[in-house]
Structure 1
Amino acid sequence: MNSLTLPDIAAQVARQALPLEWVGMRGIALPILLEGQRLSAKADAGVSLDDGEARGIHMSRLYLALEALELENLSPTLMHQVLQRFLQSHDGLSNAAYLNIHSDLLLKRPALVSPLSGWKSYPVTISARLENQVFHVELKIEVPYSSTCPCSAALARQLIQQQFIDDFANKALHHADVLGWLGSTQGVIATPHSQRSTAELHVHLEDFVDELPFTAIINDAEAALGTAVQTAVKRADEQAFALANGQNLMFCEDAARRLNLALRRSPGISGFHIRVIHAESLHAHDAVAESTWQRESA
C-alpha cells in the first residue's frame, strides 16, 4: 500500500494573491423535506475566499455538510447550522457562507365548485447567507394566475352593444328573443383576451421567523389576485373560472398593486420585490410591472 500523503493542491499558495467573494458549487442534487414533503432539489453552496494567499476552498467539505438537509424539515435554523458548518470547515479562509436551494413545492388545490382537487407545482428558492455572524434568509416563489385585459373587455362589450343595436333596431323586444340572442354566437360576437400570468415574489424574512411560510404567502397572493390557475375541473368549475375572470379584470399594474398590499399584511416579512408578467395573447411581448417594499426600522 502506498504510504505517500495524498497531495492537497487547494492548500498551495495562490499564484496571484486575490480574495474572491464566492467560491463553491451549483446544481447539487439532493432530497429535502419542505412542509412535510420529500422533494427533489438542487443546491448552490459556497463560501467567500477571504484569504487571497489560499489557492482554493475545500468543496468536498461543503458537499458533506449538506447531508444535514436530508434529515429534518427545512427551516431557517437548519440552514443556519449548515452555513455555520461551512465556515467552521473553512476557518481562516472564509467569513461568509451561502446556500441556495431550488425546488418545486406541491400543493393540493380544490376546484372552484365541484369536489375535485389536484396538485399544483410552485417553483421556490430559499436563499440563506451568513456573513460576519449575521444570518439572513430570502424566499423566491412563482405563482401562476390568469389575467383578463380590462381594455379588451370594454372593446368586446362595445361590439356586443353594436350587434344588439343592429339585430334589434326598430323591433319590439321580447324576453325570449333577447335571452336566445344572448346565448347565441351571434350575440356574443367578441370576447376579451386573457393570458396565463406569473407573479414572481422575492421575499425577505424577519430575523425571528423559524419557519418557511411558503403556503401562507402563496395563499395570500392567490387570494389577492382572485384568479389562480386551476387543476382538475368540471364544466361548472370552468364556468366559475370564467365568471371570476370577467369580474376580476386587471392590468399588470393592478396585479402588482394588489400583491404589494397583500404581502405587506403577511406576518414575518420585512420586505419584498414583486414582478408580475402577463404573457399577452394580443402581443408577441409580455407586459411587466414591478414593486418593492421595505419595512421601516422601529
Structure 2
Amino acid sequence: MLADVQATPDSRGIPLDEVGIEGIRYPVLVADGQGAKRETVATAAMSVALGPEVKGAHLSRFIEVLHGSREQLTYSTALGLADELREHMGTSSARVHLVFPYFLEREAPVTRSRAFVEYTCAVTAYSNVEATHLQLSVEVPVTSVCPCSKAISDRGAHNQRGHITVEVKPSNRASDLWFDELIDAAEGAASSPVYALLKRPDERYVTMAGYDNPVFVEDMVRNVCEVLSASDRIAAYRVRAVNDESIHNHAAYAAVSWTSPNGV
C-alpha cells in the first residue's frame, strides 16, 4: 500500500483558514438566461478549511469535484459544488470561485445583425456546516457621453468606453437570479451598450441615442442601484463604474455598497 503522508496527524495545533488550488483553467458549460448552455473556460480557485490536527488536503479531490460539475453550472449547482467539496474533503467549510468569459448574442438596434458580446463573470460559493451562500459578479462594457461636455459645447460631446462591475449576494428567494439580469441592469444604466457588430445605420442610431442620454459615472452607479434595490431577491450588492476618459489623463469612477436591512 502506498503511504498517505497528508493523512497523518499534525502536532503543531494550528488550524488553517484555507488550503486549496488556484489558477487552474477548466472547460465548463454555463447556463444562460434563455435556457441554453454556454461553452466557456473558467479559471478556478477552490479551498477548504483545515483542522489543527490535519497535516494536509488531498488536492486531487478538488479536481474530481470540479470535473463532476463541469457540464451544468447554474445557481443551484454552484451551491451544490461548494457543499460537495466540503463533504468530500471532510472539512468544516469550503469555497469555490470560478471566473469565466460569458458570451451573449446581441442584436444591433436597427439592422438586427447578430453577434456575441463578451462579459467577464464570476461565481463564488461558500459552504459551512450551517449554511451555503453564493455571490455573483459581472463586469459589463458600456459607453457613456459626458453631460457636462454636451452642456458646454456648441457641437458634439466627448464620450468614452467604460465598464460597470456588479457584485451581488442573492437572498434566500433568488433561485432564478443569474448573470443576464445583472448585465441588463448595467447596460441600461449607461448611455449605450457596447456591441460587437454594428452596420452604418446601427452606428448612427447608437451615436445619437448616446448623445440623447448623457451620464456621469455617478449616474450609472445610481441607475444600477435603483434596479437592484427594487428586487427582494438581492440581500447585498456592490456597484462600481469606471470611465476611461477620452479627453483626460485619468479614469473616473464611482462605487457604492448596500446591504438589505433584513439581511436575507
Amino acid at match of 1:80: L
Judge conservation of contact 1:221–1:262 (CA < 8 Å) in 2.
Answer: no
Counterpart contact for 1:32–1:70, Cα < 8 Å: yes
Name the SS for the 1:89 alignment partner. helix
The answer on whether the counterparts of 1:221 and 1:263 sit within 8 Å (CA) in structure 2 is: no
1:129-149 deviation line (CA, Å, top 9, x unaligned): 002231100001011111111
Q: After superposition, what is the alpha-carbon deviation per residue over 1:16-72, rounded to whole angstroms, capped at 9, x for unaligned?
A: 3311111100122222221211221121111011x213221111112111122123x
Instruction: Write out the 4+ residue segments of structure 1 that deviate beyond 6 Å after TM superposition.
Output: none
User: Amino acid of the residue matched to residue 57 of structure 1?
Assistant: A
> Which among 149, 154, 158 is matched to residue 151 of structure 2?
154
Aligned match of 2:69: 69
Note the alpha carbon deviations across 1:125-166, whole angstroms, 9 max, x for none.
Answer: 000000223110000101111111112222212xxxxxxxxx
State the secondary structure of the residue aligned to 2:189: helix
- SS of the equivalent of 2:77 reads helix
d(CA) in 1 for partners of 2:104, 2:14 = 46
Q: Which residue of 1 aligns with 2:27?
A: 31
* Corresponding letter in the other structure for 1:152: S
Q: Distance in 2 between matches of 1:273 and 1:81?
A: 24
1:173 aligns with none
Matched-pair contact (CA < 8 Å) for 2:82–2:95:
yes
Seen in structure 2, the aligned counterparts of structure 1 residues 217 and 267 have a Cα distance that, compared at 3 Å, is farther
Number of positions where the alignment pairs a residue of Structure 1 with one of Structure 2: 258
Q: Distance in 2 between matches of 1:252 and 1:193?
A: 14
Provide the C-alpha distance between the structure 1 equivalents of 2:24 and 2:223, rounded to a whole number of angstroms.
36
What SS does the aligned partner of 2:124 have? Answer: strand
**Aligned counterpart in structure 2 of residue 134 of structure 1, from 131, 146, 153:** 131
Q: 2:175 aligns with which of 207, 210, 216?
A: 210
CA distance in structure 1 between the partners assigned to 2:115 and 2:88 by the alignment? 44
Residue segments in structure 1 that go unaligned for 5+ positions in a row:
158-187
C-alpha separation in 1, matches of 2:175 and 2:66: 19
Q: Determine whether 1:261 maps to 2:226.
A: yes
Q: What SS does the aligned partner of 2:209 have? A: helix
Alpha-carbon distance in structure 1 between the residues aligned to 2:191 and 2:107: 14
Assess if the C-alpha contact under 8 Å between 2:111 and 2:199 holds in 1. yes
Report the 3-state secondary structure (helix = DSSP H, G, I; strand = E; otherwise coil) of the residue aligned with 1:232.
Answer: coil
Matched position secondary structure for 2:99: strand
Q: What's the TM-score once normalised by structure 1's chain length?
A: 0.81
**Is 2:97 the counterpart of 1:85?**
no
Superposed displacement of residue 101, structure 1: 1.0
Q: Does 1:296 align with 2:254?
A: no
Q: Quote the residue 2:106 is aligned against.
A: 109
For residue 116 of structure 2, what is the aligned residue in structure 1?
119
The residue number in structure 1 matching 2:52 is 52
Instruction: Give me the whole-angstrom Cα distance separating, in 2, the residues matched to 1:205 and 1:255.
Output: 21
- In the alignment, the residues of structure 1 paired with residue 74 and residue 244 of structure 2 have an alpha-carbon distance, to the nearest angstrom, of 34
How far is 1:224 from its partner?
Answer: 3.0
TM-superposed CA distance for 1:226, in Å, is 4.2
Greater percentage in strand: 2
User: How far apart, CA to CA, are the structure 1 residues paired with 2:99 and 2:229?
Assistant: 25
Q: Which residue of 2 aligns with 1:175?
A: none
Larger Rg: 1
CA distance in 1, matches of 2:188, 2:215: 14
Equivalent in the alignment of 1:176: none
| Structure 2 residue corresponding to 1:235, chosen from 197, 200, 204 | 200
RMSD of equivalent CA atoms: 1.8
1:170 match: none
- Which residue is equivalent to 1:21? 17
Secondary structure of the 1:83 match is: helix
Q: Does structure 1 conserve the Cα–Cα contact (< 8 Å) formed by 2:14 and 2:52?
A: yes
Contact 1:225–1:259 (8 Å) recurs in 2: no
Q: Structure 1 or 2: larger helix share? A: 1
> How far apart, in 2, do the equivalents of 1:257 and 1:55 lie?
49
CA distance in 1 between partners of 2:15 and 2:144 (Å): 48
